[in-house]
Amino acid sequence: MLWQVNIFCRSPCVGCCVPESLLLGVGNPLLDISAVVDESMLKKYDLKANDAIMAEEKHKPLYHELMEKFNADYIAGGSVQNSLRVVQWLIKKPKVCTYFGCVGDDKFANILKEKASSDGVNVIYQVNKEHPTGTCAVLVTGSNRSLCANLAAAQKFTEDHLATEECQKAISKAKFFYSSGFFLAVSPASMMQLAKHAHENNLTFAFNFSAPFVSKFFKDPLDKLLPYVDVFFGNIDEAAEFAKDYNFKGTKAEEIALEIAQLPKLTDRRRVVVITQAKDPVVLVENGEVNLTQVAPLSPELIVDTNGAGDAFTGGFLAQLILGKPYKECVDCGIYAARHVIQHSGCTFTGKSEYKYKYNNVD
C-alpha cells in the first residue's frame, strides 16, 4: 500500500486518524426520489415494474408528483456518490470523501447536497443554471421497483470545475481517486486529468466499469484511461462484455480478470482487478495471481433490493483500501457492505457499521 493510517493512533474510532478528502470521487449526482405507489402510477407514466429507463418528455411531471402526492424519500444517488456514502458509513468520520459532480440551480440540488452532506460526504458541486438537477424516480409497488432517470445537469460537468480553488484544495489532499465508466460519457477529459495527477504523484486511481455498454460505445476514451487505472472493478456481466470488445481469449471470470490485469499500464505497480458475481465467489487478481472469496449466503426473504449492491461493494472495498488494509480484507468489507444494503430499499443503510474482518468468513 502507498499510504497507511497511523498505526500508532490509539483512538477506538475507526476513522479518527484518517485525513479529510483522502478519497476523491467524480461522477453523475442524482437525487433519488422514492415512493410507494400503486399500479395506476406505472400505467399513467407508461412504466413497468422491475425496469429502468431514461426519462422522456412525458415523464417530466413524475418527479414533482411523487413529491407532492406521496410520502417520498430522498436519497443522494448516482453510482460514485453512492459508493462514497458507503465509505463514510464505514469510516465514521465526516469528509473523508470528497465528491465532484454537476447539479442544477434548484431545490433538488439543495436536497441532494443536504442528503449527501448528512451522510458525511464533502460535496463540491458544479452548478449549471441552464439544466435541472439530475433525478431518478423510484416507484415502489410491492417488492418491485421501477426506475426512471433524468440525468439533466449531471451530464454537463466540465473540466474547468477542477481548476476552482475549492476543487484544487481537495485534489491536493487526496491520495485515492475514483470514477466510473458512466462518467466517460460526460467528461473523459476530467477523468484523464485526475488519472494523470494520480500517476504523476504516485497515488491510486480506481475505476468502476459500471455497465456493459461502456466498452462498446466509449472505447476510445476507455483505451486512453486504462493505462492509468490501478484498481479495476466490474461485475461478471460487464466483464464478459469487456472481454468480447477487447478480444480476450478467456471467458471465465478468473481468466478475464487476469487479462484485464495484464493490459498495458504506465507504472510498475501491477493492476488490481475485482470482479463480483452476485452470490458466486468474488474474483480478485493481485500481483498477477487469482484469489477467490466465497460469499456467505443470505436468506431470500431478507433481500429487499439488489440495485445498490454493486455501489455498496465498491464502497466497502474502498473504505478498507484507504485504511491501508490488504486487498483480501477490502473484498471482505465489500461483501459486508453489499449484504447490508440489499436488505434495504436503494443504496441505504441503517445504524452504525459493525464491520470486522472476516465478517464474511466462509469455509
Q: Where are the domains of the chain?
A: 23-29+77-133+152-341
User: Please, which residues have CB within 8 angstroms of residue 300's CB and are 6 or more apart in sequence?
Assistant: none
Query: Sign of the C-alpha dihedral, residues 181, 177, 157, 150?
Result: positive
User: Tell me: the pLDDT tens digits for 218-275?
Assistant: 999 999 999 999 999 999 999 999 999 999 999 999 999 999 999 999 999 999 999 9
- Return the CATH class of domain 23-29+77-133+152-341: alpha beta
Mean pLDDT confidence for 190-211: 97
- The reported pLDDT for the residue numbered 1 is 46
User: Tell me: the pLDDT tens digits for 344-359?
Assistant: 888 888 888 889 877 6
User: Tell me: the pLDDT tens digits for 103-121?
Assistant: 999 999 999 999 999 999 9
- The reported pLDDT for the residue numbered 363 is 45
Strand bridging mode 23-26 / 176-180: parallel
Residue 280 predicted with pLDDT over 50: yes
Mean pLDDT confidence for 89-95: 96
Residue 331 in grid coordinates? 473484498
- Please, are residues 299 and 293 in contact by the beta-carbon 8 Å criterion? no
- The reported pLDDT for the residue numbered 119 is 96
Please identify every residue annotated as catalytic: 311
Three-state DSSP class for residue 222: helix
Residue 76 to residues 91, 245, 328: CA-CA distances in angstroms?
18, 33, 29
User: Tell me: the pLDDT tens digits for 310-351?
Assistant: 999 999 999 999 999 999 999 999 999 999 999 988 888 888
User: Tell me: the pLDDT tens digits for 10-44?
Assistant: 444 556 689 999 999 999 999 999 999 999 999 99
- Please, are residues 312 and 208 in contact by the beta-carbon 8 Å criterion? no
Print the SS3 string covering 256-285.
HHHHHHCCCCCCCCCCEEEEEECCEEEEEE
Mean pLDDT confidence for 64-85: 94
Mean pLDDT confidence for 123-130: 98
Mean pLDDT confidence for 287-311: 91
